[in-house]
Structures are given as C-alpha cells and as structure tokens.
Amino acid sequence: MKKTRKPQLAVIGAGPAGLGAALAASGAGLRDVMLIERDFELGGILPQCIHDGFGSIVFKEVMTGPEYAQRFVEEIRRTDVEIMLNTMVLDMGPDMRITAVNDREGIVEIEPESIVLAMGCRERTRHQVMLPGFRPAGVITAGAAQRDINIEGLMPGRKIVILGSGDIGLIMARRFTLEGARVEGVYELMDHPGGITRNVVQCLRDFEIPLHLSHTVSFIHGRKRVEAVTVAEVDADLKPRKETERFVPCDTLCLSVGLIPENELSKHAGIQLDPVTAGPFVDERMETTVDGIFACGNVVNVFDLVDYVTHSAQVAGRGAAEYVLQGRKRQSPVKVVAGRNVKYVVPQFVSDLNRDVDFYFRVEHPERAVTARILADGKPLAGKKHKMVRPPEMLKQTTEALDVSTGEKTRELTVEVIPGGE
Amino acid sequence: MTPAGLPESAQVVVIGAGVSGCSIARELTKYTPDIVIIDRESDVADATTKANNAEVHSGIGEKIGTLKAKLNVRGNALYDDFVSGLGVDFRRQGLLIVITPRTLPEEVAARMPRSVHDFVLKQVMPRLIMLNARRKGIPGLRMVSRAEVYRMEPHVTRSAVAGVFDPTYGMVAPYKLTIALAEHSVMNGARVFLNTEVSGVNVKDGRVLGVTTNRGDIRAPIVVNAAGVFADEVADMAGAGGFRIHPRKGASLLFDREETREYVHSSVSEFRVRGKTKAHSKGGGAMPTLEGNLQLGPTAIETDDKFDTSISAEEIQEIFDRFYYLLPDFPRSAMISAFSGIRAPTEEEDFIIGPSEAARGFVNVAGIQSPGLASAPAIVEMVMVFLHDLGVPRQPRSDFDPVRPAPPRFAELSNEERDRLIAGDPRYGHVICRCEQVTEAEVVNAAHGIIPATTMDGVKRRTRTGMGRCQGGFCGYRVAQILAREMGVPVTDMTKDGDGSWVFTTGKKTIAV
C-alpha cells in the first residue's frame, strides 16, 4: 500500500497563477508545498506566448511570456517547493483528497492541509458558439494554433479566417502572418473589438489585416478540410443577415471566441461557482466557499493581464499559508455588489474588512469619461477617473482597511462606474 | 492487421464496413474464415454508422407489418447475445414516452371538449401505446402516472400528462460496436480493406463472379451489398437494383458530461401523433449516452447529397425548440458538440434484404436506416439463411474464437487496476486527453489495434480523445504526434479522417526575420 502524501499545501497547476501562489506560500513560511503540473514543463500557457507585453506591472519591464515565466521558474527552483511535472490531477473530493497520476509513481493520493486551485482556463469551441456547417479538419482554436506554431513547430494552415477579436485571436493574426500564412480577415460578432486596444493596433493595423466588426461566420464549408466560410453582418440580435452573406475561401478557421475557467475539479470538491465569472466565489484572500481551498488566476475569472494573475496568486498563496499556520477562521462575509456598468467584481465577498483589498472588475459596455468607485453601504470609499473603459480591459481598485477607516460595521460593498471623469 | 494487397479471391465479399456489413461478416466467420470486407472510407464505421445516435429501439416506433418492425423487435431481443464477447458496453436504460398536451395534433384536439381531450391523453393514449407494443410482441411496457414521470425524470415539463415506460430500449456506441465486430471478424480470419471503393460488380450468366475496386479485382461467388447510402448504386452495378436510396440527414447535439450527468436517467421522448404532415422520424429524444453526456436528437431532413453531413443553424434551433418544451431547463450553454449523419432510406421506407434473382450470389442489405442498429442481430439472422443457401458452410467452425479482448480504458478503471497497468507500461500514467482522461498507452493501443487507427478521428472513436468539453483543443497535437510516431510517418502526414483532411501544412516552416 502506497503512503498518502500530506503536504501543507497542494497547488494544482504551474502556470503563472500556480507558480505565484506556491512562491508566495513558501515565502510566507510554508515548508511543505507541492506544485502539481500536468505538462512536462513549468509555466502553463506562458511558454507559447512568445509575444511581448508581459510584466509591465509586476516587473516594471516589457517581457515575453517565456521570459516572464522564467523569472518565477528560477525563483521557485531556489525554494523547497516540491515540483511534480507530468502529473495529472484526476479528482478532488470535498474532503480535500486529491487523486493524481503520473508515469513514475502511478496513482498518487494527496491529503493536503490546504489547496490552491490554479488550473487556468480553456478555449470556447465552435460548438459552444454554435457555428453551423461541416466538421472538416482546419477548424482550430487560437490557443491551440499558438501551441502548434510556437512550441511544436507545426503550421495548422495557410489561408486563415479568424473569428473573434479576443487577444489571442489578434496575436495569432500577426503570428500567422509572420509565419507566411495569409490572414483574410478578423471577424467580430460585437460592435467593438474583444481584445485590448494595443493588440488591435499592433497585430492588425500594423499588418493591414482587416477587422470586420458586427460580423460572424454563418457556415463552414468543406467535407474533408475547410474550403471556405460564409461570413455575414449581424443584426441587433446578433443573428447573421442573409442578404449580407459573403463566401470567403480559406483552409483554416481560427477561433478566438472566449475562454472558460476550468472548474471541473472545483465542482467535484463542492465549491460554489459564480454564474457570471464561471469561477469560484472567492473572498479577499481568494478563499473559495470551501474552507482551506483557495483559487487564483484564470480559474477564478479570465484576467486580461498576467500581472493581475500573479497578484491574485500572491494573495491566494499568502492566504493558504495563513490558513495553515494560524488556522484563522472566517468572519461573516460582506457581499460585493456589481453596480452601474459593472459586469462582475472579484472578490465577490470580503470576510475581513480590516485589511487592504484589491478589487478586479469589468464594465458591461464601453464608456467615455467615467469614475470607477467603491461604496460601503452607499458611502464612496475610493474612486478613480478613466478617459475610456472597455469590457476587455479589466479595472483594478484597491481599498484600504475598511472598517478602520469608516469606523463602523459595513454590510454591503458596491462597485460602480459612473459618468464624470477626465 | 490489414494486409496490404487485395486477395485474388474470397468466398464472400462484404461491401461496406458499417454496422450491417461488419455484423454479417462477424457471423460469417463462425462458419468460414474466407471473408473480405471492403469500404471506401479510411476506417470502419466511418460513414452512416459513426453518426448514428446509438439507440437500440424496442420497435415501438415502427409500423406493424413492415420488415423494419419485425427485425427491430427480434434484433432487440437478441442484443445481449449479439454483443457478448465483444467488450462493448450495452445498457438497457429504457425509454420513457411522455404524453403531453401536444400529443394530439392541434386540429384534432381542438375538435374535442376539454374533458374528452384530458381523458384521451391520460387514459387512451397510454393504452394505445401498450396495445401497439403488444401487437408487435414488445415485452415489458408499463403505464406511468404523471407523478411517477416526475419521480423518474424530474426535469420533464410540468405539463406532462402521463407516460409509458419501455424497458427493453437500450444504447450501444455504434462505432465502438462496429470496430469490435470488425476486429472480431479479423481475429477469426476475415480481412478488411479500407480506402477500397467498388467500381463494378462482375456478373456472368446470371451469377456473381466478384467485384472490381480502385485497388483491383476480387473473385467471389457471394457478394453482400451493405453499402449504406450507396447500396442503390452498388446494386445497379450487379443489375440487382431497381430501388433508390434518398439520403436523409439526422443531427444530434451532445452536452458536457459534468453539467448533464443524470440530467435524464432513461431516454425520454415526447409522444406526438403526427397530423397531415408525413414524418419519417420517431421524433428523437433526450438521452444519457453510455458515458453520461446528455444527447438530444436526431432530426430528419431530406437532402439530395449523400455526403451532406453539415448542420445548419436552423437544425440546431429546431432541436432546441423541440426540447425546450419537453425539458424546459436543459442546460443549453453546456453543448459541446453537434454531429450529423446520412440515413439510407428507400422510397418504400423499409429494409430491402434478400438475394438477387438477376445475379445469383448477390445479396442486398439495403435501405438500412433507423432502426438498423437495433435490427442488426436480426438482419444477420435473416441474411445468414440466404448465405447458407448460397453455399456458406452450415457447420460452425470449431476454431472460432468467441472473445474479442477490449483494450483497457483508463478512465473506467479502479485506482488499483490503474496502478497495475502503469507498473507494466508507464504510458498508462501519462494522461494526454484531460477531459476524457485518455492515456498515451491507449492511443498507442489504438494505433496497433487489430483494425489500427490511422487518423485522428480513428483514435477518437477508439479512445475518446477530443470527445470532451475542449473538443481536442489541448490534446490535438499530442494525438497527432503519438499516432505519427507509432505509424512511423511524419506528423505532417496526419489526417483528421482520411485523404484530403490534412491537419498540418507540409511545407517547411519559414522563420520571418
């Protein structure tokens, strides 16, 4: 009978979130931290993100994905964090029992004192956005295409149509072009780009790749390999308008139509998920609804910047350490409400108002000259003016120790974006 | 393993490696090993069979007096024996037929006083269904009260009035079954030739002499035409035709297992009496697949293209609209896949099974549409009578091996069994498809199976790689690399599903400077 492993903390996933959490926990005094990763190397999705734009907040410099990951990899090698590569977590129960497998030890049973979930997210597929047509080879998600090209050295196509202007789609439009493929155009369902402005400029405009807003793919042609797609403008209900349909020959349809936090394990563990973010409800320490299980990074909600992923990971790692070392019990949580032009806020609860809290939130629709602010029972606490806010760009607002500053017990927090700003 | 060159002759050539052809071939090998199966696609089960939605009907939906009704009822009864030894799951989960206020066509219901309509729905319709089953010899049906409908299936619409439970209805994965049948045939001497398309059936003086294919001729005194949607064209080649297959599309939707496990427990369908519009579908249903995914469908749409496996936005909407009524809260956003296949009905909408008078030795197994999967064992029984008459030995072989060993499926094993496998082969400890928990060893097994997988879809059908919620986004390149390595070819040779369906470009990757 194999011995069950009993670390102080098990971190599931060694992308930027898992690396950041394991390091923070180790730095906060946990001696026995286990970092579990299913891939053969550390870094998660970062090694395939060979474009720049990482680290401007955390390291105050502009780095590529592999460079950003390498900083953490080097740092973690200097700690006593146990790294388990090529190890897949098969299940996780409500009692925090983890079952994992690898090819060296076989089935590994782990009963940690605390857990940080850092599984990241997956890409939405063609069926999840209900794209009609045939099912030929050549329909690929942008992240998968990025892996093929940047890590595996394989080209998934020559003549590309991209659906969705999320950041990965924009990055891949440029990447495909640099690799000698022809990108026919990027088509976006909404009337605004899905990715951040920097990427629209640097990946499309600079390469003269057309962006067609309020458009979708209405049919995929080709029995064996993609031969063409039909594209069309959409009406107010986002349905294709037949009279605007155009036939666009191509051999590849690359999809950048959204990311979904990967929470299958979380569900098995009985963690409650927020229907808006599709990630766990968390409090200011990134603790989920199950005591001792924390979550950070894109498993909680899809962040726009890796720097924020790292921040949330550091909070979760320190939270887990505090939980293990001090056994701190949670106080009754205060709900954080998404107010005017706010789609959602993370964390959704605050248990301890006597500390600084970072709130991350997204707006529902683009708006000019606004103030984003946080209210405690209707009283404004902190606010910041913005020239322009857009759904793809996450907003961050920090509050200082609340109950200390207001001097009374807070019952509800609200985050809102209101007109009036720069 | 499939030999490279076509043999000069065989006692029986079976055209078409779908579920019908492979069922017949497997039965033939109980009497003679000299069987050749040919198919135009790159894998067995690679046309109509792969898109079949896995139902083993009881026969309740078929018209009394048809060959379909007779063979369906008989086939269902034979199913446990039929699949035994194949290493394939078959589950009789039953079908709950739900009667709702929509059961009678509006124009009929409108002519009845409300109390009469209620009485008809509650008391008459269930009894009619029961009576219909009794006349066809379908065992075990029972009436289910409204309260019991909800106890059995809590997600069914609150407007349900009554129900009937049909317990012999079951499910089997059609492509797994067919791969197993083909492999079992090969274990017992049969030979399978894929990418082999029949261009002629050679007939002289009213007798079949063999077939001509794109890869050469095979002499054979007996030829079985199980060519699915092409059975009419193949029959014409032998002068044994005179019927026409008109393709009819059927689409189904699949949902994420994590979200929909136990959403329904048996299959559930709404009973609707058709009005004046003639419909050739049992209306489809909501069913849990053997792996626990919710599946909705299929549709029935006439097409003029035998290759039209596309799905239109309207078709997806039609399925949604239909099931919003029966299952108002079904998790629409958890849809992970949609697939469509071509049924092969004749104008008469019945099976055409029998020897040709024009070409002795040529046997048609045509017009096999739903309930073809359920009828397969009975089709085999019927065809064997003709085949014995045509000269297949009546004496069973003593050396027939009754068991086809199924390769291990990591996701379904206990941790102790998993440890044992990994100790023997560490590749069982390397999970490559995270959604379906498929290991490298399973992909290797698929590549070296009795009927080896040679394409990405071939691996998928054998192991479930890419069948989960990410649809191969994470494991696609890994499957391609492992399969290429095992086949000893460059990864750029990989196809999704045979010639033309390339996955990666073959040109050298250029680095822009």
3-state secondary structure B186-214: HHCCCEEECCCCEEEEEEECCEEEEEEEC
Q: Does domain B7-89+170-245+344-397 have CATH number 3.30.70.270?
A: no
| CA proximity to A394, closest of A336, A272, A307, A282 | A307
Contact residues on chain A for B337, CB-CB shorter than 8 A: 127
Q: Which pLDDT value is given to residue B511?
A: 43
Give the rounded percent of residues in chain A with a pLDDT score beyond 70: 98
Domain B410-493 architecture: Orthogonal Bundle (1.10)
Q: Which residue of A has its CA nearest to B413?
A: A107
Q: Which residue of B has its CA nearest to A154?
A: B504
Determine which helix (DSSP H) or strand (DSSP E) holds A123, and give its type and residue range: strand A121-123
Contact residues on chain B for A133, CB-CB shorter than 8 A: 310-311
| Among the ranges given (A21-25, A145-149, A336-340, B298-302), the one the predictor scored with the smallest mean pLDDT | B298-302
* Residue pLDDT, tens place only, B348-374: 999 999 999 999 999 999 999 999 999
B388 counts as catalytic: no
What is B95-167+256-307's CATH number?
3.30.9.10
Cβ <8 Å between B418 and A101: yes
Judge whether A125-257 and A331-422 match in fold: no
Burial call A390-399: b when 16+ CB within 10 Å, e when fewer:
bbbbbbbbeb
Alpha carbons B65 and B87: distance in angstroms, whole number: 34
Q: Which of B57, B117, B155, B184 is catalytic?
A: B57
Q: Does domain A125-257 have CATH number 3.50.50.60?
A: yes
Closest CA–CA distance from residue B312 to any residue of chain A (Å): 5
* Residue pLDDT, tens place only, B179-188: 999 999 999 9
Residue A179: Cβ-neighbour burial (10 angstroms; 0-12, 13-18, 19+): middle
Q: For residue B368, how many C-alpha atoms fall within 13 Å in the half-sphere facing its CB?
A: 32
Selecting from A99, A106, A125 the residue whose C-beta is nearest the C-beta of B471 gives A125
Give the rounded percent of residues in chain B with a pLDDT score beyond 70: 96
Alpha carbons B459 and B43: distance in angstroms, whole number: 10
* Residue pLDDT, tens place only, B406-439: 999 999 999 999 999 999 999 999 999 999 999 9
Residue A358: other Cβ atoms inside 10 A: 15
The domains of chain A are located at 1-123+259-330, 125-257, 331-422
- What one-character-per-residue DSSP string does B234-259 give? HHHHTT-----B--EEEEEEEE-HHH
The domains of chain B are located at 7-89+170-245+344-397, 95-167+256-307, 410-493
Alpha carbons A28 and A24: distance in angstroms, whole number: 6
Mean pLDDT score, A230-256: 97
Contact residues on chain A for B480, CB-CB shorter than 8 A: 154
Alpha carbons A212 and B473: distance in angstroms, whole number: 25
- Tell me, yes or no, if A378 comes closer than 8 A to chain B by beta carbon: no
* Residue pLDDT, tens place only, A352-410: 888 889 999 999 999 999 999 999 998 888 889 999 999 988 999 988 876 656 666 78
Q: For residue B487, how many C-alpha atoms fall within 13 Å in the half-sphere facing its CB?
A: 22
What's domain A1-123+259-330's superfamily in CATH?
FAD/NAD(P)-binding domain (3.50.50.60)
Residue B278 has pLDDT above 90, yes or no: no
Higher-confidence residue of B410 and B508: namely B410
Residues 6+ apart with CB under 8 A from A368: A387, A388
Closest CA–CA distance from residue B259 to any residue of chain A (Å): 9
Mean pLDDT score, B37-51: 96
Q: Which pLDDT value is given to residue A106?
A: 96
Chain pair A-B, CB pairs under 8 angstroms: 137
Q: Where are the alpha helices (DSSP H) in A113-263?
A: 142-147, 167-178, 197-199
Cβ <8 Å between B471 and A130: no
Cβ <8 Å between A38 and B434: yes
Cβ <8 Å between A147 and B469: no
Alpha-carbon radius of gyration of chain A: 22
Q: Which pLDDT value is given to residue B508?
A: 53
CA angle, corner B453, sides to B5 and B11, nearest 5?
A: 40
Selecting from B428, B469, B477 the residue whose C-beta is nearest the C-beta of A147 gives B477
CA angle, corner A98, sides to A97 and A102, nearest 5?
A: 150
What is A331-422's CATH number?
2.60.40
Cβ <8 Å between B423 and A155: no
ipTM: 0.95
Residues 6+ apart with CB under 8 A from B87: B180, B403, B404, B405, B406
Strand boundaries in B258-357, DSSP class E: 267-271, 285-288, 294-297, 301-302, 335-343, 352-355
Contact residues on chain A for B316, CB-CB shorter than 8 A: 130, 132
Residue B509 has pLDDT above 60, yes or no: no
Q: Which residue of A has its CA nearest to B457?
A: A137
Q: Sign of torsion, CA B230 B231 B232 B235?
A: positive
Alpha carbons B290 and B90: distance in angstroms, whole number: 8
Q: Which pLDDT value is given to residue B513?
A: 37
| Pair type for strands B55-56 and B170-172 | antiparallel
DSSP B495: B
Q: Which residue of B has its CA nearest to A268?
A: B258
Contact residues on chain B for A225, CB-CB shorter than 8 A: 496, 500-502
Closest CA–CA distance from residue A327 to any residue of chain B (Å): 33
Mean pLDDT score, B337-346: 93
Cβ <8 Å between B426 and A103: yes
